[in-house]
Amino acid sequence: MPAEFKILFMQGGGLAENAIVPLNLSRGATVDFVVTGSWSQKSRKEAGKYAAEVHTAASGADSKFTTLPDPSTWQLSRGASYLHICSNETIDGIEFQQLPDLKALGSDAPLVIDFSSHVASRPVDWSKVGLAFGGAQKNLGPAGLTLVVVREDLLGHVLPACPSAFDYEVVAENASMFNTPPTWGIYIAGLTFEWLKNQREGDATGVAAIELRNIAKAKALYDFIDASDFYVNKVAVNCRSRMNIPFFLNDESRNDDFLAGAKAHHLLQLKGHKSVGGMRASLYNAMPMAGVEALIAYMREFARKHS
């Protein structure tokens, strides 16, 4: 990570950062959002309480959040304080495979990314990022810890109403100990970071090795779904999430039977979010390939019995 970034350990999760980011970065001006699913919708709504104006530069709502708006179509505000994206949408199964290059799009606004649900699942091109935040509970450690990575030049511009404990500059100056930090969460995250550093796949090490595993896990499940006439994934191929894979049965009256059978096979938490329905498999870093293979084997057998 470049030296000009500060790493902060905070509290409140990604939802709290939806308020803390505009308190620190909006400067009373317009902030831009690219809305690609449920989490970026929540972020945009919260920012409206603090920013002078919230502008939707692009939205995937017309496709029911099954595609990403092409960056060439984004309507970026002149002089925006920042542009916010959620780089992986857990509910909708959408992921930016490449972070947008705002300078190439003619904008000097810093890019803010909510990477809660795929942090440490792949390398980050920090040259494109102004600030990244994420709750720890998906890939780093227990709930209650929030990771914030912020470029130094973005510090020191808080709105007057910002509490000192949420002022990034104050947190940075006090080494994340302005108030009592979530020590257990930080300790567990430290163990996770050590584990990440020690991972290897061929010549790749660390997060690069983890990315190769995640690509392989996601590919195995997507390939099975795409080859099936019993299951379907509705997300465009170029923006499918590696972490969260929603899928639907062609006969949704069998959803409850599918979930009951999955539980009997020790395959848990597969019910899709209530806003979209269907099923959802989450393949976070800790999920081994053996778990994906077990799910595919069950899905194959269920389809055979009910086709």
Query: Could you count the other beta carbons within 10 Å of the beta carbon of residue 277?
Result: 13
Among 32, 39, 92, 167, the one annotated catalytic? 39
pLDDT 10s digits, 9-63? 999 999 999 999 999 999 989 999 999 999 999 999 999 999 999 999 999 999 9
Among 6, 32, 74, 114, the one annotated catalytic? 114
pLDDT-derived band at 307, boundaries 50, 70, 90 = confident
Among 32, 138, 167, 217, the one annotated catalytic? 138
The answer, yes or no, to whether residue 148 has pLDDT greater than 90, is: yes
Q: Is 223 a catalytic residue?
A: no
Q: Where does residue 290 rank: exposed (0-12), middle (13-18), buried (19+ CB within 10 A)?
A: exposed
What three-state secondary structure class fits 224? Answer: helix
Number of H helices, E strands in the chain: 7, 14
Strand partners of residue 59: 35
Query: Could you count the other beta carbons within 10 Å of the beta carbon of residue 193?
Result: 15
Domains and CATH numbers, the chain: 5-192 (3.40.640.10), 205-306 (3.90.1150.10)
Q: Is 138 a catalytic residue?
A: yes
The answer, yes or no, to whether residue 282 has pLDDT greater than 90, is: yes
pLDDT at 260: 98
Backbone angles phi, psi at 94, to 5 degrees: -110, 135
pLDDT 10s digits, 187-200? 999 999 999 999 99
Mean pLDDT for the chain overall: 97
pLDDT-derived band at 130, boundaries 50, 70, 90 = very high
Under a CB-based contact definition with an 8 Å cutoff, are residues 22 and 51 in contact? yes
DSSP code, position 202: T
Amino acid at site 153: D
